């Protein structure tokens, strides 16, 4: 029988609408005890760290449960400027990186074409993203283009320990491991940023936690940043909030809303990875299951298409009438969550919002309903409301919890409401090649832009760069683009080499 345990949580579970930064009462040079470490730093941003569970339970039982922070490790070059689970796993991580390189043609082409020019020479990039084999290819590409990098993870469950070890062995200061506690998460970010004699001038962020940590804790450092590249809905929303308040003192690039990110990472990636994440955690069959997908943006569209193709009966909730009409035209029934919550077998959130699934919804769900999130933030499902004395939590397997009501009803909660695909499975490498190349080009553009081109605001990636990213991936399919004749280009009023669509065009 799995171990049963009850959680008692004191305090206000309400998540404030505006970005809040809790004062960190713990100084990082005063090491907490091993027992107390998980309860510290309740959060600067609940989007990445709102968790009460034991991080160790999410790692393999054979792993050494000693915190990496308590280990003294060095790579083969004698450097100890990193903190990973086990540096001895580096060889295995290197193999995974080499496999990923085969499916990331654009990044490898960019590395080959630009490494002689070193367009990022002098760039000091601090990054906070998922640390996977694909991210490793991006980091090593940035290094080949001349940048110095320091890295932390944007999600406490998505790090591949062997990949982090391989990066540390290669000389990258990486501070991340799978199953970090909340305090570990912020400690790792601080170790990336707070380095004597090292001033970052570029930020690559996924979710906005790194950006806001620097903004709050190191304001003088933040003012010296030359540019920020952000790839998530959550992080972009935060940047626009800062910009609107007049507090964004550096230019930022919104990669999330670039065409190559929206259409490929959000749509095609989620179309494949939603099934993978659900299968690995629940072993369920999709045919005939009733599923409600909250949100019909690009992520929601991908999830719905995949589940429909597997024979599921799919409902959609949406606030935007345009997205709602798209869902109807695609053959999905548009509902309010309250209308179907008692009958559905699976609830999937992908809105980027908060409290989409509330305690009231959770109370009304049928027995064995599966609840998961495909958005970046873990704010979409009100998991905190489930940490009450009358409910029992039962760990089934890694990333799978039964939450049991007094009458015996139970729901199946995946990854504690965090991002399902990267927490519970993997995502297609080829799609991540598109996103990673977009990020690399955005960093190059911001770093090399002449003074005055970008003001203290949030910008979209230039259309020409989106097209360039797409063109780098076409040879993989032996695809051949048609070229405009001079007469045709003149007729359309276009340059023969692009861009081929105006900025307002919706693909």
287 has binding-site annotation: no
Handedness of CA 264, 266, 271, 277 (dihedral sign): positive
297 has binding-site annotation: yes
Number of helices (H) and strands (E), helices first, in the chain? 19, 16
407 has binding-site annotation: no
Residue 227, SS3 per DSSP = strand
Q: 48 near 209, Cβ under 8 Å?
A: yes
250 has binding-site annotation: no
Residue 129, SS3 per DSSP = strand
132 has binding-site annotation: yes
301 has binding-site annotation: yes
How many Å apart are CA 202 and CA 214, to the nearest integer?
12
36 has binding-site annotation: no
127 has binding-site annotation: no
Instruction: Compute φ and ψ for 399, nearest 5 degrees.
Output: 75, 10
* Six token digits for residue 393: 């939590």
302 has binding-site annotation: yes
* Six token digits for residue 162: 């062997």
Nearest to 350 by CA among 274, 460, 236, 290: 274
Q: Which residues pair with 291 in a beta bridge?
A: 314, 346
299 has binding-site annotation: yes
16 has binding-site annotation: no
3-state SS track over 396-449: EECCEEEEECCCCCEEEEEHHHCEHHHHHCCCCHHHHHHHHHHHHHHHHHHHHC
235 has binding-site annotation: no
300 has binding-site annotation: yes
* Six token digits for residue 134: 């694909």
Q: Which residues pair with 59 in a beta bridge?
A: none
3-state SS track over 287-354: CCCEEEEECCCHHHHHHHHHHHHCCCEEEEECCCHHHHHHHHHCCCEECCHHHHCCCCCEEEECCCCC
Residue positions forming the annotated binding site for substrate: 132, 206, 231, 261, 265
Residue positions forming the annotated binding site: 132, 206, 231, 261, 265, 297-302, 318, 421
Residue positions forming the annotated binding site for NAD(+): 297-302, 318, 421
């Amino acid at each position: 029988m799995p171990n049963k345990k009850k959680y008692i949580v004191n305090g206000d579970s309400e998540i404030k609408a505006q970005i809040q930064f809790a004062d960190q009462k713990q100084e990082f040079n005063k090491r907490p005890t091993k027992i107390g470490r998980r309860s510290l730093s309740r959060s600067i941003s609940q989007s990445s760290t709102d968790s009460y569970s034991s991080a160790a339970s999410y790692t393999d039982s054979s792993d050494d449960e000693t915190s990496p922070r308590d280990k003294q490790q060095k790579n083969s070059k004698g450097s100890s400027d990193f903190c990973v689970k086990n540096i001895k796993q580096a060889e295995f991580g290197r193999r995974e990186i080499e496999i990923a390189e085969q499916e990331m043609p654009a990044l490898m082409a960019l590395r080959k074409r630009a490494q002689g020019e070193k367009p990022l020479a002098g760039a000091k990039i601090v990054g906070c993203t998922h640390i996977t084999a694909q991210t490793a290819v991006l980091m090593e590409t940035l290094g080949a283009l001349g940048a110095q990098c320091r890295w932390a993870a944007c999600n406490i469950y998505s790090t591949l320990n062997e990949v982090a070890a391989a990066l540390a062995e290669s000389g990258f200061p990486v501070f991340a491991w799978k199953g970090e506690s909340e305090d570990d998460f912020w400690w790792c970010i601080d170790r990336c940023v707070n380095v004597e004699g090292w001033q970052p001038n570029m930020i690559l962020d996924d979710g906005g936690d790194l950006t806001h940590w620097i903004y709050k804790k190191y304001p003088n450092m933040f003012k010296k940043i030359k540019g920020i590249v952000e790839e998530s809905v959550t992080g972009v929303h935060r940047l626009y909030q800062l910009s609107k308040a007049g507090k964004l003192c550096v230019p930022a690039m919104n990669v999330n809303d670039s065409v190559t990110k929206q259409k490929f990472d959000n749509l095609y990636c989620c179309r494949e990875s939603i099934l993978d994440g659900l299968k690995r955690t629940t072993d369920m069959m999709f045919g005939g299951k009733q599923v409600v997908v909250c949100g019909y943006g690009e992520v929601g569209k991908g999830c719905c298409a995949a589940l429909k193709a597997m024979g599921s009966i799919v409902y959609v909730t949406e606030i935007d009438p345009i997205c709602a009409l798209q869902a109807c035209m695609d053959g999905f029934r548009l509902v309010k969550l309250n209308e179907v919550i008692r009958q559905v077998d699976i609830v999937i959130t992908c809105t980027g919002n908060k409290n989409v699934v509330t305690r009231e919804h959770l109370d009304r769900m049928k027995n064995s309903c599966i609840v998961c999130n495909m958005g970046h933030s873990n704010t979409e499902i009100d998991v905190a409301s489930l940490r009450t004395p009358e409910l029992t939590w039962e760990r089934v397997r890694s990333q799978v919890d039964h939450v049991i009501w007094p009458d015996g009803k139970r729901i199946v909660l995946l990854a504690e409401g965090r991002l399902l695909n990267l927490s519970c499975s993997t995502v297609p490498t080829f799609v991540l090649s598109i996103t990673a190349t977009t990020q690399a080009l955005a960093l190059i553009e911001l770093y090399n832009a002449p003074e005055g081109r970008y003001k203290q605001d949030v910008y979209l990636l230039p259309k020409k760069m989106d097209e360039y990213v797409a063109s780098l991936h076409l040879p993989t399919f032996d695809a051949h683009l048609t070229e405009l004749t001079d007469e045709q280009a003149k007729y359309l009023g276009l340059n023969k080499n692009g861009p081929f669509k105006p900025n307002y065009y919706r693909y």
